[in-house]
Structure 1
Amino acid sequence: MSFIQKHPKLLLLFAFASIYIIWGSTFLAISYGLKGFPPFLLSGLRFLIAGIILLVWRDLKGERTSSFRDWKKNGITGILILTGGTGLVTWGEQYITSTEAAIAIATGPFWFIAIDRKNWKNYFSNISTIAGLIVGFAGLLLFLNDSIHSAGGAAPKTMRIAAFAVLALSSISWVLGSLYSKHYRATHSTFKNISQQLVVAGVASFIIATFRGEWHAFPAATIPVSAWLGLAFLVFFGSIVAYISYIWLLSVKHPVIVSTHTYINPVVAVLAGWLFLNESISLLQLAGLLVILAGVLLTNAASYKINKRLVVKIRRASRTLFSSPSGDKYLVDF
């Protein structure tokens, strides 16, 4: 604690690095995990192990589980956000690359606006929000058109289409869970709520795996080391370190600033897929990604308020940058 108090900027840097890099790398970790685990078994192990670790930690801290009502609220949130949101992404990555999955998931903010009916009046009265939705939808069409007709991956075209459709459902499930959590929050601490969400999501994922027959197709004796490492990364980094960093950042920084991970995660995923799995991305897919991110930026434009003091600093910095040592201004033509 004393180290944290003495070095708050380092803690902030670590937390932002966690949600930027770790969450962007989870798509790669899922690809490795799928080399040995069926999708919902992989998700179930990820959530349940992480949930038990956090649950034991909170119990050791003296925070006991209170009511069935709180378990129910956290259970619904966990099933929607984790089992439905993240679990369906894991299923989809059987048929498309981690890069494609990350780019498709970048459209999440658009689904949030579409589903959050209570705030439609605010959303659609803002020109930048409407423009962002149109631009983002155009980028998604550009990306999907090239991805579906590309020869990437060994999966047939019909399964690739199904995978993208499931990814859309995963985004919708994530948004529904987020809205439910916002309006029906449990009475525990944030970390206790997260632990219960993870445990219920893990159990729900195992139930789905059972109905899908994944236990029978589970090659427990022949799981490669890379799959175990992928699972370990998802448990300790994706579901614990990054998730806790995200929740802590929301308590000390403006949500709009924290939400910048939306722009960084797909870029990190593209780089990780290229470096470790030799995944390629076409120029049209890259263009689609850039257009989607531009749309996300526009939809949030109204929330980005630049402090006047920051504007002054930017002006001073620009004067210094574009001035010669003798004091003469450089002429810069953009």
Structure 2
Amino acid sequence: MKQAKSSILLVIIAFATVYIVWGSTYFFIQKAVLHIPPFIMGSIRFMIAGGIMLSWSAMKGEKIFRKDLIRSAGISGLLLLFVGNGCVIWVEQYIPSGMVAIMVSSAPLWFVLFDKPNWGANFRSLHTILGLVIGFAGVILLFWNQVGELFSKHDLTNLPALIMLLIGSMAWSAGSLYSKYYSTSGSAIVNTGWQMMIAGLAFVPGTFILQEWKTVVWESIPTESWLSLLYLILMGSIAAFSAYIWLLQVRPATQVSTYAYVNPVIAVLLGVFFAHEKVSFIQILGLAIILGSVLLINLSRYRQGKKKLS
């Protein structure tokens, strides 16, 4: 019923926010962790964003201190933001954002494998399966040069980072599905606020274990890094993550997971328009394949919706 009642305009705006904003966050994460240690960056980002959302909810008179809501939000927040996003933050210190985008784009495949309540619908849908496989292939084509460079050197030093990204992608998918099926009570803003607050607190012990507070030189952090962190707080967390959590409640998980294919496309296009980067024919082919895969996945859902209405 939620899917039928949700405003089409709001769904489009939410998808656009997740697609476009998250497509730019790879770049801003890498800019931020150049000078701000990863665990400090994660704790600041999510505690401030979560604090803003919970404060706003309290000002509106919403009940924010509910044990059941905090418990479910805590589990999904740890999986999504501490493990899932935390792996991305950590790994972007060592490997290019393009490779990060490729590994993160495996998330839709994990959505299908982990979404047990929808196994029947997903595995019976040829359009969905083809769309997921083709989309992942398109992302690899999009970053074909980086893939070739990584494996042509026969250098295994980046293998732990790639494994960490794979684990992060699995955790993100599991956390998204947990949020979809178990974090249904309370408002989306309160739920999202607690997810971010608890994830932010989970980053704190790592800052002491890795002695980040001793090594960071606050006065040497450039304005560019602080502005990148501000963008991640306001746009990446408050705007895009809130839209993502809401979409999980009103749209099928496999459809929402297409963000992982579109984000790399946005990242490449931003590079073309703002950094004057050149796009190769293989990249254009990858872009076309990715967009085609998203259409395939949405076509399947559109047809299922028409059958239910008829």
Q: Hey, what does 1:312 align to over in structure 2?
A: none
Q: Hey, what does 1:61 align to over in structure 2?
A: 60
Q: Per-residue deviation at 1:53?
A: 0.7
Q: Per-residue deviation at 1:246?
A: 4.2
C-alpha separation between the residues in 1 aligned to 2:53 and 2:158?
36
Q: Hey, what does 1:330 align to over in structure 2?
A: none
Encode CA deviations 1:189-211: one digit per residue, 9 max, x unaligned. Answer: 11111111110000112223332
Contact preservation (8 Å) 2:105, 2:139 = no
Encode CA deviations 1:240-299: one digit per residue, 9 max, x unaligned. Answer: 122334456677888787666444322111233456667777665665565455445544
C-alpha separation between the residues in 1 aligned to 2:298 and 2:8?
26
Contact preservation (8 Å) 1:47, 1:235 = yes
Q: Hey, what does 2:21 align to over in structure 1?
A: 22
Contact preservation (8 Å) 1:73, 1:186 = no
Matched residue of 2:34: which SS?
A: coil
Matched residue of 1:158: which SS?
A: coil
Q: Hey, what does 1:98 align to over in structure 2?
A: 97
Kindly provide the amino acid, as one letter, of the partner of residue 186 in structure 2.
H
Contact preservation (8 Å) 1:146, 1:285 = no
Indicate how the Cα distance of structure 1 residues 77 and 251 shifts in structure 2: closer, same or farther if over 3 A, else same.
closer
Q: Hey, what does 2:265 align to over in structure 1?
A: 267
Q: Hey, what does 2:33 align to over in structure 1?
A: 34
Pairing partner for 2:207 from 200, 206, 209: 209
Q: Per-residue deviation at 1:66?
A: 3.4
For normalisation by structure 1, the TM-score amounts to: 0.74
Q: Hey, what does 2:193 align to over in structure 1?
A: 195
Q: Hey, what does 1:160 align to over in structure 2?
A: 158
% identical aligned pairs = 39
Q: Hey, what does 2:4 align to over in structure 1?
A: none
Kindly provide the amino acid, as one letter, of the partner of residue 211 in structure 1.
I
Q: Per-residue deviation at 1:61?
A: 1.2
Taking the TM superposition and a 5 Å limit, the aligned residue runs for 1:189-268 are 189-247=187-245, 261-268=259-266
Q: Select the structure that is richer in helix.
A: 2
For normalisation by structure 2, the TM-score amounts to: 0.79
Q: Per-residue deviation at 1:78?
A: 0.4
Q: Per-residue deviation at 1:73?
A: 1.4
Q: Hey, what does 2:72 align to over in structure 1?
A: 73
Encode CA deviations 1:220-250: one digit per residue, 9 max, x unaligned. Answer: 2211111100000000111112233445667
Matched residue of 1:37: which SS?
A: coil
Structure 2: give runs of 5+ residues left out of the alignment. Answer: 1-6
Q: Per-residue deviation at 1:167?
A: 2.0
Kindly provide the amino acid, as one letter, of the partner of residue 77 in structure 1.
S
In terms of Rg, which structure is larger? Answer: 1
Contact preservation (8 Å) 2:111, 2:254 = no
C-alpha separation between the residues in 2 aligned to 1:139 and 1:21?
18
C-alpha separation between the residues in 2 aligned to 1:69 and 1:9?
30
C-alpha separation between the residues in 2 aligned to 1:251 and 1:68?
21
Matched residue of 1:265: which SS?
A: helix
Q: Hey, what does 1:319 align to over in structure 2?
A: none
Encode CA deviations 1:141-186: one digit per residue, 9 max, x unaligned. Answer: 667875344169xx99434333332222221111111122233226
Indicate how the Cα distance of structure 1 residues 217 and 293 shifts in structure 2: closer, same or farther if over 3 A, else same.
farther
C-alpha separation between the residues in 1 aligned to 2:228 and 2:248?
27
C-alpha separation between the residues in 1 aligned to 2:122 and 2:293?
14
Structure 1: give runs of 5+ residues left out of the alignment. Answer: 1-7, 309-334
Contact preservation (8 Å) 1:74, 1:193 = yes
C-alpha separation between the residues in 2 aligned to 1:204 and 1:281?
40
C-alpha separation between the residues in 1 aligned to 2:71 and 2:99?
34
Contact preservation (8 Å) 1:28, 1:273 = no
Kindly provide the amino acid, as one letter, of the partner of residue 78 in structure 2.
I
Contact preservation (8 Å) 1:147, 1:285 = no
Q: Please tell me the root mean square deviation across aligned C-alpha atoms, in Å.
A: 3.6
C-alpha separation between the residues in 1 aligned to 2:244 and 2:60?
21
**1:181 has 2:166 as partner:** no
Indicate how the Cα distance of structure 1 residues 12 and 296 shifts in structure 2: closer, same or farther if over 3 A, else same.
closer
Q: Per-residue deviation at 1:111?
A: 1.3
Matched residue of 2:303: which SS?
A: coil
